[in-house]
Amino acid sequence: MAVYTEVTDEDLAAFLARYDCGRLQFYKGIAEGVENTNYLVRTDRGRYILTLYEKRVNVADLPYFLKLKQHLAKRGVRCPVPVADRTGETLGELNGRLAALITFLDGVSVKRPKLDHCGQLGRALAELHLASADFGMYRANALGPKGWPPLYARFSSRADEILPGLRSMIEVELAAHAGGLPAGLPQGVIHADLFPDNVFFAEGQLSGLIDFYFACNDALSYDIAICLNAWCFEDGDGHAFDRAKGAALLAGYDGVRALTTAERAAMPVLARAASLRFLLTRSYDWLNQPLGALVTPHNPLDYVARLRFHQQARSIADYGGGA
């Protein structure tokens, strides 16, 4: 989430008039994230999130994202749901951007996840995968291995500005993953961006999942690998992997949807691929921050440290998953 497009009181009031959601009382921009413009909106009937979809979002993908959240909510997954206007549409236009009004989800994200948070996250991720098994739409992973070389080409000449030697490191990794993710893994809908700031907790219990704008169809275990990267490394010198957190996350997932033998065997490769994906996107964003945007890009160096760990991993046991 971020703020790239400014919205005035008058513009927003006119937009909300299409909805049966009450009169505008208050709104403010939300600075977290990097993809779309988001505002917290309060009316006399409740709170909402207003999302304006910026140029990086493919308009053709929006029905997938919006209908997926509706589908998941109907099956008990706690997530924000698009609000339909008086004509039944969930997608409108505001200040030259496609826009949607989304229900507000109570809870807060945790900055430093503990073991129990990781276990709950693992269970919620497995529940998401099972709940979406009968979702009828398909979206390819635009940020999968096929998308990495063209993304890298957009900043390759400047990669060493971030860290001397980064260009060589990335090129070695791109070659290692040129064949794509391991074949034969169970496929389905994945969230693909389930970082701690996209998971809410209330009174110690997971209260919901947000920000589905990278959701796509891919290997389910790749989603787990993304979460291992996002939840189980410690901040500070070395960015060490916390095996106890990894064990909690994997056990939570496995208790709802058992990992296959192939998924367990592939975890080091998947975790390495996931770290490369975020190293690439964070590096690009670091070097191409829009002027005037109320957003702080994530530091790509965090994923250099993660990638080095994965390069040495040999089995799921290195992530706390047992032999």
Mean pLDDT by runs of 10 across the 323 residues of the chain is: 76 95 92 76 95 85 96 97 96 93 95 96 98 98 96 97 97 96 97 96 96 96 98 79 97 98 98 98 90 71 94 96 77
Confidence at residue 291, expressed as pLDDT on a 0 to 100 scale: 64
Confidence at residue 197, expressed as pLDDT on a 0 to 100 scale: 92
Domain boundaries, the chain: 9-103, 115-319
How many percent of the chain have pLDDT more than 90?
85
Confidence at residue 5, expressed as pLDDT on a 0 to 100 scale: 78
Instruction: Give the span between the Cα atoms of 251 and 282, in whole angstroms.
Output: 29
Structure-block tokens of residue 243: 């095996």
- Length of the chain measured in residues: 323
Q: Which long-range contacts (CB under 8 A, 24 or more apart) does 75-79 make?
A: 75/131, 75/132, 76/127, 76/131, 77/124, 77/127, 77/128, 77/131, 77/209, 78/105, 78/206, 78/207, 78/208, 78/209, 79/105, 79/208, 79/209, 79/210, 79/212
Confidence at residue 237, expressed as pLDDT on a 0 to 100 scale: 56
Confidence at residue 295, expressed as pLDDT on a 0 to 100 scale: 62
Confidence at residue 24, expressed as pLDDT on a 0 to 100 scale: 94
Q: What is this structure's pTM?
A: 0.92
Residue whose entry in the numeric block shows the structure tokens 């549409």: 89
Interval 1-49: pLDDT, tens:
456 778 999 999 999 999 999 999 999 998 765 578 889 999 999 999 9
Confidence at residue 1, expressed as pLDDT on a 0 to 100 scale: 42
Phi, psi of 303 (to 5 degrees): -85, -15
Confidence at residue 323, expressed as pLDDT on a 0 to 100 scale: 60
What does the DSSP 8-state code read for residue 259? P
In DSSP terms, 206 is beta-bridged to 201
CB 120 within 8 A of CB 252: yes
Confidence at residue 55, expressed as pLDDT on a 0 to 100 scale: 72
> What architecture is the 9-103 domain classified under in CATH?
2-Layer Sandwich (3.30)
> What architecture is the 115-319 domain classified under in CATH?
Alpha-Beta Complex (3.90)
Total Cβ atoms within 10 A of residue 232: 25
